[in-house]
Amino acid sequence: MTLRFYDTASAEVRDFVPLEQGKASVYYCGATVQGMPHVGHVRSAIAFDQLTRWLEFRGLRVTVVRNVTDIDDKILAKSEQSFGPDWADEPTARKDEEWWALAYRYEQEFENAYESLGVQRPTYEPRATGHIPEMHALIQRLIDRGHAYPALDDSGDVYFDVRSWSKYGSLTRQNIDDMQGAPDADPRGKRDPRDFALWKGYKDGEPLTAKWESPWGAGRPGWHLECSAMVTKYLGTRFDIHGGGLDLRFPHHENEMAQSQAAGDEFANFWMHNGMVTYEGEKMSKSIGNTVSPAEMLDLASPRVVRYYLGQAHYRSVLDYRPTSLQEAAAAVERIDGFIAKAAAKVGQQATEPNSYTEGAQAAMPAAFVAAMDDDLNVPQALGVLHETVRAGNTALAAGDLDAVKDALSSVHAMTSVLGLDSVKRPEAVQSREHAALEVLVEAQLEARAAARANKDWAASDAIRDTLSAAGVVVEDGADGATWSLKRD
């Protein structure tokens, strides 16, 4: 196989050769659980879920780590707000909520969003607060190597010395002299305003539960440090892929790479970043009211449709949301599911639905689909192959070529499975026992209609069709008789 992915660090598409034969290791940044998940979080999770599924399809045993940042300035600020008069800033806010309770509540919201949209659980999902000793050890290694120092003002902070690391800025190809320090960072105690915190000393007024003892004084970890400590614990000092949203390249991933390599770790072989989600060409922003959340999308469309929409663009491209986006995605999914339903009725479902990792799926997967996915995970091109297979399958249905129908159905199942579309539930009515009962009743009506047509009783035939249509059942006449489906909203 020849897998190729774009590596942000080298700014080129490179052949992907796993560091360990037959295995792949992937780390991608999860949520800082200080609020409800937004659509960018979910798009990133779906992109790396597609990557994981494809690596598995290509025969690799994949270890996936997705972290949870459960201690952070924003989490503490949100908790503090809950103890004040303006705490009700969003529907799920709770009065007098401790920071750790708030973080856990939002963590569950993220898990619900991932599960609703068929994102597989990672192999490991570590929390930052569970890895303080590993962070202390990493800080000490950096101090010993001359790349970190305790703050000059005895605040208990520890900083990474960016000028001590000549490669600082290489991930984003920036010159250190052209960089600016974080606009909200306190420059006191730093050698250089661009230096970033590895450890934040405890400050009066902060919750006592939000501090840990350390050789440099009580405090809590810096954001960038957390990921470096967690990824190396679970994947080692050298691993295949580090991923996340494009907005994390700087400063988060730049700092992460610098501190890890400065500590002596080779770290990630590939850096992969997914693009942002915009709203009609503009950056989503709560301040201008042009945001849409995963929950709002799921109110407008089924999980299968939302998954299709969020995963349809190339992972590195911008995904632009418009009011009609989910309708367009629903139409695409309807074409796929319509063929699956008709074909399965003709050739049988069980014999043609291979799991995406079986030998049957390997044989059923179109070569053009494989080539597209191997080429930097080109999902748009792969979806083109999927829809072309659906069109060919419908042509075979019309011609009564059941062998071709069966082949097309197997291919469609293999492709939708590896894209994760089969990991989200279809609308409940399609899978319920009520649907089974409906099928018996509709089939009886269609038999009565067929008898009426055979007797040239067109009035009775039309009356049955009109009754079914009023009930939301669409009847289509074909060479082999009538088929039916439910009207889409």
Please work out, in degrees rounded to the nearest 5, the angle formed at the alpha carbon of residue 396 by the alpha carbons of 462 and 332: 75
Comma-separated ranges of CATH 1.10.730 domains in the chain: 282-423
Q: What are phi and psi of 320, to 5 degrees?
A: -100, 125
Greater pLDDT, 477 or 380:
380
Residue 197 has pLDDT above 90, yes or no: yes
Band of the pLDDT at 408, cuts 50, 70, 90? very high
Q: What would be the CATH architecture of the domain defined by 282-423?
A: Orthogonal Bundle (1.10)
- Report pLDDT for 285: 79
pLDDT in tens, 93-147: 788 999 999 999 999 999 999 999 999 999 999 999 999 999 999 999 999 999 9
> Please, are residues 158 and 137 in contact by the beta-carbon 8 Å criterion?
no
Residue span(s) of the chain under CATH 3.40.50.620 come to 4-275
pLDDT of residue 430: 43
Instruction: Quote the pLDDT of residue 174.
Output: 95
Higher pLDDT, 452 or 85: 452
CA distance linking residue 233 with residue 241, whole number of Å = 15
437 confidence band (pLDDT: 50, 70, 90): low
Distance CA(489)–CA(248), nearest Å, equals 38
Report percent pLDDT > 70 for the chain: 90
Measured between alpha carbons, how far apart are the two ends of the chain, in Å? 42
DSSP line for 424-439:
SPPPHHHHSHHHHHHH
Q: Answer yes or no: is pLDDT of 429 > 50.
A: no
CATH architecture of 4-275: 3-Layer(aba) Sandwich (3.40)
Q: pLDDT: is 109 or 180 the higher one?
A: 109
Average pLDDT of the residues in 254-269: 98
Mean pLDDT of 235-250: 97
Q: How far is CA 317 from the centre of its chain?
A: 14
Please state, rounded to an integer, the average pLDDT across all residues of the chain.
91
Mean pLDDT of 379-405: 97
As a whole number of angstroms, the distance between CA 297 and CA 145 comes to: 49
Taking a C-beta distance cutoff of 8 angstroms, is the pair 101, 34 a contact?
A: no
Across 219-226, average pLDDT: 96
pLDDT at residue 251 tops 90: yes
- State the pLDDT at residue 355: 59
pTM here? 0.86
Mean pLDDT of 210-230: 97
How confident is the model at residue 189, as a pLDDT?
87
Read off the pLDDT of each residue in 441-449 and give the average, rounded to a whole number: 84
- Identify the pLDDT of residue 130: 97
Residue 397 reports pLDDT greater than 50 = yes
Q: What is residue 475's predicted lDDT score, i.e. its pLDDT?
A: 84
Q: Mean per-residue pLDDT for 284-307?
A: 90
Give the 3-state secondary structure of 63-81. Answer: EEEECEECCCHHHHHHHHH
The set of residues, in sequence order, having a beta carbon less than 8 Å from that of 481 and lying 6+ positions away, is: 446, 450
